[in-house]
Structure 1
Amino acid sequence: MIRKPTPVDIFLLILVSLIWASTFLAIKVCVDEIGPTWLVAIRVLVGFLAILPWIAWRGLVLPKGGGQWALTLSVALLSIIVPFFLIAWAELTIDSGVTALLMGMGPFFAMLLSHLATEDDRMNLFKVLAVMCGFAGVLTVIGPSAVGGLGDHLLAHAAVLGASLCYSVVGVFVRRVQGIPPTRFSGLILGLSAALLVPYALATGQPDWQGLSAEAIVALVYLGVFPTALGYILRYHLIRTIGQSYFALGLNLIPIFGVSLGALVLDEPVSLSLFVALALVVTGLFFGQRGARQASPPKASTTAATP
């Protein structure tokens, strides 16, 4: 059963939002040098190795039964393999700030999906207004008046929105996986993903390892340790304790952090359209928070995962 967020929960939400916002910056630094396939494979492998000592100490916990294994594999596909590749591929052509802004659709997708798939995370008037603001923000970014060369970047925009939708869908599955603590569950899905991604990357050929810059190497290690290992531990912990909808609301900060980091570190342009989209997302966050406050007290869910 989910509970009311505490000050510690709110701090963790802000922390994971900042960590994940920096993901798009780190990807932009190294994706041109190593390519999306190897970037994702190395990121996942490093993330798994970062969690492995904890798993070795506490012991590996495996899913029980075919249904739980199917759910676990679905989480690995929808929270790691597919969205990681879509985001990395998209950033070959679009800025990290635009990517972060489009990923801000995740909370709004999550509110819709949680309403349809759970009993304790329902929509209300303010959440509906939040979703409308979110979609308006996306239209501001991908509209012809907002971003020049729409035909050149439409597939990249769609890839990012697809990754955002993956994260929203997987939040429903996470609460259905039972009996595995968050850290060990993170390690399990990272291990499964690495077992699939590394052989595939090897089959596609080798990148120019000696030609990698120091910045790209640091970015790859950072991606594995912080957004992947630490970020996913916090994600599953918060989803199971405060609910997917409230967790997703906190992640509305990602576009703000992401656009700011892209402009400050990579000198990416910040157009008027991005400011308008950010304003819409922040407004959506406000409405979503009001909706969360007005929601009825959560009922015990028969599908809630064991912390």
Structure 2
Amino acid sequence: MTMQRSLSPRAWAELALLAAIWGGIFLAVRLALAETGVATVVAHRVTWGALILWGAVAAMRLPVPRDPRLWGAFLIMGLLNNALPYALIAWGQLHIESGLTSILNAATAIFGVVVAAVLFRDERLTPRRALGVALGFGGVVLAIGPENLVQLDLRSLAQLAVLGGAFCYALAGAWGRIALAGLAPQVAAAGMVTGAALVAVPAALWIDGPPRFDLSLTGWGAIAYAAGPGTALAYLLYFRVLAMAGSGNLLLTTLLIPPVAIALGALVLGEALAPRALIGFGVLAAGLLILDGRLLRRRPLPN
């Protein structure tokens, strides 16, 4: 069985910081949506985020790719990992709580295991992973509520939209492995967010019209957070933690994000989640921990 790399205090601190940043994105997006449209929020997030990331690439003196085929791969990656999931999840937030959105978004890791098992021979669905996936999906169904899966009101559609965004993230992970292998991660991040901007900006102009500049300080602050810390800084920090702690430990971020988002939603937006949603997250978290391997380290299933 693959052992997880032990975490230093600094790695724990940066892991917690990353979870706090991404946990806060749900609140930021909801605040921005109160003043402007979904497509415009996405366009702001990826456009300013791309500019910041290219600034980081320039500061690190990393080479800028020139191969047109690679830029085509960036465009697809940006669509799958940014433009489409950001839009689906933001639209979902118009109709469900930000805390519930973060819980459903945590299904990304579950979808990622399934997609990888289908596409890659070295990512087979072992008994341990199958158990984790089954528990994870059970937690998602419980959080949504089985009765909401058979009706098509706005709330149930919003929850399915968020899950659609999580599935896009899983597809993006597979595409990145196929098309972006060997690139400096900072360059890959800047390229894909640029690809997202090339899609999101025309879409925002078509759907929402010209951007408004009369937003409140709260609205601009929410957009600035989403683009800066929530996108550019988060990607740079993600790759630092990846190098420091390993990919297995990064799964812990998925578990830490929803509690942050739930707490912020309750404190700032006055949200109150149904007990069923919290129990569902508990079941989903157990599935993620089984995928991670920590729960079964003493009595492992085959992996």
Match of 1:217 among 215, 220, 236: 220
AA aligned opposite 2:261: G
User: Measured at CA, do residues 230 and 173 of structure 1 come closer, stay the same or move farther in structure 2, by a change above 3 Å?
Assistant: same
Match of 2:276 among 273, 278, 298: 273
In structure 2, what is the equivalent of residue 124 of structure 1?
A: 126
SS of the counterpart of 1:268? coil
In structure 2, what is the equivalent of residue 304 of structure 1?
A: none
Q: Distance in 2 between matches of 1:295 and 1:13?
A: 27
- Give deviations 1:59-105, integer Å, cap 9, x for gaps: 44316463x44433221111011001111111111110111111111
Alignment of structure 1 residues 1-307 onto 2, 5 Å: 5-7=5-7, 11-57=13-59, 58-62=61-65, 64=67, 66=69, 68-143=70-145, 151-176=153-178, 177-204=180-207, 205-210=209-214, 212-235=215-238, 247-248=250-251, 250-290=253-293
User: Measured at CA, do residues 264 and 108 of structure 1 come closer, stay the same or move farther in structure 2, by a change above 3 Å?
Assistant: same
Contact 2:143 2:278 in 1 (8 A): no
User: Structure 1 residues 68-77 or 46-55, which shifts more?
Assistant: 68-77
Q: Distance in 1 between matches of 2:124 and 2:246?
A: 11
Structure 2 segments unaligned to the other structure (5+ residues) = none
Q: Distance in 1 between matches of 2:41 and 2:216?
A: 14
RMSD: 3.0
| TM-score normalised by L of structure 1 | 0.83
Q: Distance in 1 between matches of 2:174 and 2:148?
A: 33
Q: Distance in 2 between matches of 1:206 and 1:72?
A: 26
Contact 2:110 2:136 in 1 (8 A): yes
SS of the counterpart of 1:73? helix
Contact 1:101 1:278 in 2 (8 A): yes
Once the 2 structures are TM-superposed, how far is the Cα of residue 296 of structure 1 from its aligned partner? 8.5
AA aligned opposite 2:277: L
User: Measured at CA, do residues 251 and 105 of structure 1 come closer, stay the same or move farther in structure 2, by a change above 3 Å?
Assistant: same
AA aligned opposite 1:206: P
User: Structure 1 residues 96-105 or 174-183, which shifts more?
Assistant: 174-183
Identity of aligned residues (%): 30
| TM-score normalised by L of structure 2 | 0.84
Q: Distance in 1 between matches of 2:97 and 2:141?
A: 17
- Give deviations 1:86-135, integer Å, cap 9, x for gaps: 11111111110111111111111112222233344443333222212211
AA aligned opposite 2:284: V
Once the 2 structures are TM-superposed, how far is the Cα of residue 36 of structure 1 from its aligned partner? 0.4
Instruction: Give the total of aligned pairs.
Output: 293
User: Measured at CA, do residues 285 and 3 of structure 1 come closer, stay the same or move farther in structure 2, by a change above 3 Å?
Assistant: closer
Contact 1:63 1:72 in 2 (8 A): no
User: Measured at CA, do residues 53 and 296 of structure 1 come closer, stay the same or move farther in structure 2, by a change above 3 Å?
Assistant: farther
Contact 1:29 1:219 in 2 (8 A): yes
Q: Distance in 2 between matches of 1:151 and 1:123?
A: 34
Structure 1 segments unaligned to the other structure (5+ residues) = 298-307
Contact 2:115 2:171 in 1 (8 A): yes
AA aligned opposite 1:209: F
SS of the counterpart of 1:209? coil
